[in-house]
Amino acid sequence: MTSTFKLRDKLWVAQTLLVLVVVGGVLVLLNARLKAVSLQALNGDLTNTLSVFQNVVEERTANLAGKAQLVAGLPRLTAAIDVKRYDPIQVSNTVSELCLDLQDTVRAPLFLVVDAKGRVLFDNFHPPEEIRALREGREPDPAKVRAERQSPLKADGWPNIQKALAGQPSRGAFQYDLPSEAAGPKTLAFQTVTVPITAPGGGRILGALVLGFALDHPLADRLKKMTESEVVFELGGKVLASSWDDAKAPGLTGGLAPAAVEAASWREKNGAARSVPVRIDGETFLALFDPFPDVKTDAPGDYVILRSLDKALALQKTLQKSILALGLLGVLLAFGMSLVFAGRITAPLTALSLAAEEVGKGNLHAEVRVEGNDEVGLLAKAFNSMMTGLREKDRVTGILGKYVSPEVAKKILSSEEGLSLQGERRECVILFSDIRGFTAFSENMAPEKLVADLNEYFGLMVETIFEYQGTVDKFIGDAIMAVWGAPVPFEDKELRGVRCALGMQKALIKLNQDRLSRGAQPLTMGIGINVGVVVSGNLGSVRRVDYTVIGEEVNLSSRLCSKAAPGQVLISDAMARKLRGLIEVRPLEPVTLKGFSEPVKVYEVTGLTA
C-alpha cells in the first residue's frame, strides 16, 4: 500500500501523537491519583468531623447526665413524688412547679418527669394549666384543666422509661411531639438521658427523669462552624434538622433517604461505617452516617456528616485544567519541534531527491550539502561521492569520445577484463587524411573563419570515422590520423578502414556542395591507409598522456596519404592483399617514399566489390 503522506508529515504526526499519548496518559493517571487523594482526604475529614461531632454530643450528653443525676437525687423532687395518699394531679402539679423552678438552673430543652406507673408528671412543653396560672398569677382555665385531666400523657410504653423504671439509665435520641400551641416545628428531636428517680435511702424507684438537648438547626449550625461540615439529623429517612436552612429539607430528604438505606446495609454487612455519595440540589456530597436509634420507638436514625465532594474535587479540577493546559502546550511544542525536526530530516532527503532528478535529467554536477554525520549526512555524502564517480566516468567517456566512437567508447568502458593501454604490439589499420592545397586555402583567410571551416570539416570527418568505429588518434594540422584495431580489436579492421575512407570522401563531396552553395571554396582531401603491426600504448609524460600507435606502418600510411591525389584513397600492398575480393583497386606504379629504401606498391581504391 502506498501512502500519500510525506515522510515529514508522518514524522510530525507520529511525534505529536506520541506526546499526546504521553500527556494524556499522565493526565489520566494524575487525575485518578488526585481523585483518590482528594477522596481519601475527604473521608479523613469526615471521620475527624464525626469524632468531633461524637465528642460534642458525648460531652453534652455527659453534662446532661450529670444534671439528670443531680435533679433525680434532689430530696425536694423525691419528696414531691413520694406522697402517701398519691394524687397524680397534685403530684404532677407539685413536680411541675418544682421542675419549672429547677429549669431556671437545669435549662434542659427537654425535661420530663415520669412516675412509677409511666404517667408523665412534668413535661416542659406541657406544664399543667394550674401551674401556669399559679405562676402567671391568674385563675386557671377550667376547660384546659379538664382537657389535661382527660388525656394525661403516658410514657409507660417508651423503652427508655421502661428501662429507667427497672433501674437502668439510658441515653439516646428521640422525637417528641410539641403541644399544638408551641411555635415552630411540631416535632423536635432530642438527644436524651433517662435516669431513674429513687426514694432517698430506700432505693425504691419513684419514677424516671428525662433530660434532653435538641437536635436542631442551631446545634447543627454550631457543629458546622466547628467542623466545616454539613450536619443532618435524620430519622427513618426523614430530616429532623440540618445545618442547612429548612428550605433545603425536601431536597435533602430526597437525596438522603436512599443513601441512609445504603449506608445502613453496608454497616450491617461490614460492621463499619462507610461514606456514601449523596446528591443534594445538584451538588454531590460525601456523607458519613452515624446511627442513633430512637430510644422511644427504636426507629433507625442517623447523625449525618456531609462534605461537598464537588468542593473537594475543585482542587483536582483546577490541577486538571493546569495539566491540560500544560499538556496542550507540550503537544503544541512537540508539534512545532517535530515540524522542525522532521523538516531537518526530510530537507536533505528532498534535496537528494531533487539532485537525483537533476541527475536523471543528465546534470552530473548535481550535489547536495552534507550536514552532520547521521544517516542522512552519510547518505548525502554517499550521493556526492556517487556523483563524483559518475562525473569521472563521464569525463573518461567524454575524453574517449573524442578519439573513438561512442560505441567503441562504450565497449572500452564495459569490457570486463579492461583494455590494456600498456605498450604492446598489435596489428592495426592506420588511416591518414589530409586536405589538399590547405596552405593556399588558408592563406587569405581570417583565422576565425579558418578555424570554423576546419572544425566543420573535422566534425564531419570524425563523425564518419566514428561511424566505422575507428579511433581518432590525433589531428596534425589539417591532417587526421585514425586507427582500427587498437585499443579495441576488430576482425574486419581493413574493410572498416577502406569503407570509412570512401565514406569520408563521400561526406566531403556533400560538404563541398554545401560550401559551394554558401559561396565557399570546395575542399579536397587525400587518404592513405596501411595495415601492419605497430606499438600501441600511452605515450607522453605524467602531465600529458596520449594513447597512440607508432611504428613504420604508421609512417607508410602517412606517406601514402601524402601521395594521394585529391579525392584519392591509396592503400598499401598489405591492405590490398587482405581485402582481395572485397574491394576494387587499381594498382599504381610503385612509388619511392621518404624513409623507405625500396619502391612501395600502391593501389588506389576505386570502390567496394558489389
CB of 259 to other proteins, least distance (A): 31
- Residue 130, interface with other proteins (CB under 8 A)? yes
For residues 576 and 528, what is the distance between their CA atoms, to the nearest angstrom? 12
CB of 124 to other proteins, least distance (A): 6
User: Residue 504: CB partners within 8 Å, gap ≥ 6?
Assistant: 433, 461, 464, 465, 525, 527
Q: Which is nearer to other proteins, 181 or 416 (CB)?
A: 181
For residues 95 and 131, what is the distance between their CA atoms, to the nearest angstrom? 10
- Residue 115, interface with other proteins (CB under 8 A)? no
Nine-digit cell string for 488: 579495441
CB under 8 A: which stretch of 129-137, 457-465, 476-484, 518-526 binds other proteins?
Answer: 129-137
The DSSP letter of residue 248 is G
Each residue 147-186 as x (binds other proteins by CB under 8 A) or -, in order, gives: -----------------------------------x----
Nine-digit cell string for 118: 409511666
For residues 355 and 531, what is the distance between their CA atoms, to the nearest angstrom? 49
CB of 106 to other proteins, least distance (A): 6
Q: Looking at the DSSP assignment, which residues form a beta bridge with residue 211?
A: 111, 193
Q: Which of 50, 71, 113, 131 binds other proteins (CB under 8 A)?
A: 131
The DSSP letter of residue 186 is S
- Residue 240, interface with other proteins (CB under 8 A)? no
Give the closest residue to 243 by CA, choosing from 223, 269, 267, 273: 223
For residues 37 and 39, what is the distance between their CA atoms, to the nearest angstrom? 5
**How many CB atoms neighbour CB 421 within 10 A?**
14
For residues 88 and 179, what is the distance between their CA atoms, to the nearest angstrom? 21
| CA distances, 358 to each of 167, 365, 386, 390, 395 (Å) | 113, 9, 14, 13, 18
- Residue 125, interface with other proteins (CB under 8 A)? yes
For residue 472, report the phi and psi dihedrals to the nearest 5 degrees: -75, 110
The amino acid that residue 112 corresponds to is L
Q: Which of 20, 56, 100, 257 binds other proteins (CB under 8 A)?
A: 100
CB under 8 A: which stretch of 77-85, 273-281, 469-477, 531-539 binds other proteins?
Answer: 77-85
For residues 179 and 153, what is the distance between their CA atoms, to the nearest angstrom? 11
Burial of 238 (0-12, 13-18, 19+ CB in 10 A): middle
| CA distances, 450 to each of 442, 445, 507, 523 (Å) | 7, 6, 19, 12
- Residue 114, interface with other proteins (CB under 8 A)? no
Q: Which of 23, 80, 114, 306 binds other proteins (CB under 8 A)?
A: 80
For residues 365 and 196, what is the distance between their CA atoms, to the nearest angstrom? 117
CB of 87 to other proteins, least distance (A): 6
Q: Which of 15, 38, 61, 124 binds other proteins (CB under 8 A)?
A: 124
CB under 8 A: which stretch of 107-115, 397-405, 465-473, 499-507 binds other proteins?
Answer: 107-115
Q: Which of 57, 71, 98, 352 binds other proteins (CB under 8 A)?
A: 98
The amino acid that residue 421 corresponds to is L
CB of 97 to other proteins, least distance (A): 5
Q: Which is nearer to other proteins, 66 or 398 (CB)?
A: 66
Q: Taking every pair of C-alpha atoms in the chain, what is the biggest distance, in angstroms?
A: 191
Each residue 475-514 as x (binds other proteins by CB under 8 A) or -, in order, gives: ----------------------------------------
Q: Which is nearer to other proteins, 80 or 400 (CB)?
A: 80
- Residue 191, interface with other proteins (CB under 8 A)? no
CB of 232 to other proteins, least distance (A): 21
CB under 8 A: which stretch of 87-95, 319-327, 432-440, 446-454 binds other proteins?
Answer: 87-95
- Residue 201, interface with other proteins (CB under 8 A)? no
- Residue 119, interface with other proteins (CB under 8 A)? no
Q: Which of 40, 48, 55, 90 binds other proteins (CB under 8 A)?
A: 90
Q: Which is nearer to other proteins, 101 or 374 (CB)?
A: 101
For residues 374 and 351, what is the distance between their CA atoms, to the nearest angstrom? 16
- Residue 61, interface with other proteins (CB under 8 A)? no
- Residue 107, interface with other proteins (CB under 8 A)? yes
**Site size toward other proteins, by CB under 8 A:** 40
- Residue 326, interface with other proteins (CB under 8 A)? no
Instruction: Find the distance separating the first CA and the last CA of the chain, reported in whole Å.
Output: 63
For residues 40 and 484, what is the distance between their CA atoms, to the nearest angstrom? 101
Give the interface with other proteins as residue ranges (CB under 8 A).
Answer: 75-76, 79-80, 83-85, 87, 90-91, 93-94, 96-98, 100-101, 103-104, 106-111, 124-125, 127, 130-132, 134-138, 140, 182, 213, 218
